[in-house]
Amino acid sequence: MGELLLITDDIHRGRRLSRDLGTRRPCDVHDLYDDALPAIRPALIISDVESLTSEAIVRLRRALAQLRGEGVPYLFLAHGNAARAEAQARVLGATSTAGVCDMVGALDYLQGASIPVLARTRAAEARQFFQHALFSDQPITPAAADAGTELVVRAVSDTGIDGWVRAVQQFDDATHQHCLLVAALAAAFSGALGLRPPDRHRLTRAALLHDVGKIHVPIEILNKPGRLTHSETAVMRTHAERGHAMLVGAGFDDGLMAAVRSHHEMLDGTGYPDGLRGWEIPDFVRLVTVCDVYGALIERRPYRASMSGPEAYDILQGMTGRLDDDLIRAFKPVVAAFRPAS
């Protein structure tokens, strides 16, 4: 996702601000009065300068000129008089201005600003459909699942997997984000494998519905800002069986039903809910599982930052014996399609 650079005239305050952002993405803190500039190419710059003297402005301009690449957003944190801060921010070429208490929201907005408009539009359409047609109190039908699948497949074709993932990562609802992200990964993966359009549709549809059982998991567990306890994990793990039960008799094919129930099964038998091993796990399910694991790794969680594509792929490669090695290797072109971090 790229690194943040925070330029401050109070290194202790700057480090406190950096800790506030620590679970969102890496943040490097630079002392404005340190003549040696950091050797990084930041993806986003924040200035936290309370005393904007003439010398401070000169130093800040110098740092921005040397460190701010083309198209890199710059957030000016305002201290004191708002009108004066706005004027100073304009002079320095800031993309946006915010108070310290509004910093996180402003960063989320700026990080989303680089997302192509078409990707944001397609993601918003899919999220709305997903919420009302698939994650509501209404029964899920194959027709509704097909419509949602077509939205995702078309969006990935129109915007590319990178643009779609960056758009979906802006969603604050973890379950919506995850299902739409995994469905897009499945669409891209099936394309990389050269599957026929009907098979690509089937795989994407299964990925879209794989976590539908989470509708029965309490929201305080789904959105807990930290790691789950043993008992909470046990409740979370019921989603695979409950999702399968929701769809029994609704007209879905056996492959999708298996993916919903078994996407957390591992080849070595350590998965759940049935402890399946090796040949007991169909290839179709194995495909969804690779997308599911990778999707979870590149998502931002309340207790950790999102991983870069290569970092997540390294973890996939380390899951030899649990995931299908051939499918992990075949997934590499999907990883390569992501834009490198700035």
The CATH number for 225's domain is: 1.10.3210.10
Do 200 and 330 belong together in one domain?
Answer: yes
Q: What percent of the chain has pLDDT over 90?
A: 55
Is the pLDDT assigned to residue 341 strictly greater than 50?
A: no
Q: Are residues 11 and 125 in the same domain?
A: no
Same domain, 45 and 98: yes
Backbone angles phi, psi at 211, to 5 degrees: -105, 20
Residue 341 forms part of a structural domain:
no
pLDDT band at 23; cut points 50, 70, 90: very low
Tokens encoding 172: 């604050």
Indicate the pLDDT class of residue 304, thresholds 50, 70 and 90: low
342 found inside a domain: no
DSSP annotation of 170: T
User: What pLDDT sits at residue 83?
Assistant: 76
Task: Note the pTM of the prediction, 2 decimals.
Answer: 0.69
The four Cα atoms 152, 157, 160, 165 give a dihedral, to 10 degrees, of 0
> What is the total count of domains within the chain?
2
Q: Are residues 179 and 324 in the same domain?
A: yes
Structural domain contains residue 200: yes
pLDDT value of residue 99: 83
Same domain, 78 and 216: no
pLDDT category of residue 49 using cuts at 50, 70 and 90: very high
Task: Pick the last residue of a domain from 79, 96, 113.
Answer: 113
Report the candidate in 29, 26, 22, 23 with the shortest Cα–Cα distance to residue 77: 29
Instruction: Determine the pLDDT at residue 29.
Output: 92
Query: Does position 283 have pLDDT exceeding 80, yes or no?
Result: yes
Tell me which residue range forms the domain holding 210. 117-336
Among residues 113, 128, 148, which one ends one of the domains?
Answer: 113
Q: Assess whether 69 and 142 both reside in one domain.
A: no
Is 23:303 a contact under the CB 8 Å cutoff?
Answer: yes
> What span, in angstroms and rounded, lies between the C-alpha atoms of 218 and 211?
14
Task: Return the top range by mean pLDDT from 49-63, 109-123, 216-230.
Answer: 49-63
41 C-beta neighbours (distance < 10 Å), count: 14
Tell me if the bond preceding 273 is cis, omega within 30° of 0: yes
Does 206 reside within a domain? Answer: yes
pLDDT of residue 326: 97
* Tokens 């970092």 sit on residue: 311
In the chain, the largest separation of any two C-alpha atoms, in whole Å, equals 72
pLDDT of residue 172: 60
Query: How far is the C-alpha of 259 from the C-alpha of 209, rounded, in Å?
Result: 9
DSSP H helices, the chain, are: 11-20, 54-67, 82-92, 103-113, 117-129, 142-168, 174-192, 197-209, 219-222, 230-236, 239-247, 254-262, 283-298, 309-317, 325-330, 332-336
The C-alpha atoms of residue 301 and residue 23 are separated, in whole angstroms, by: 8
In a domain, 126, yes or no: yes
Highest mean pLDDT among 77-91, 154-168, 242-256, 326-340 belongs to 242-256
Q: Are residues 76 and 173 in the same domain?
A: no
Kindly state whether residues 86 and 21 are assigned to the same domain: yes
Residue at which a domain ends, from 61, 82, 113: 113
Say if residue 268 is in the same domain as residue 166. Answer: yes
Q: What is the mean pLDDT of residues 231-243?
A: 96
Rounded Cα distance between 215 and 83, Å, is: 46
Mean pLDDT in residue range 89-95: 85
Q: 33 and 80 share a domain?
A: yes
125 shares a domain with 250: yes
Calculate the average pLDDT of the chain: 87
- 305 and 214 in a single domain? The answer is yes
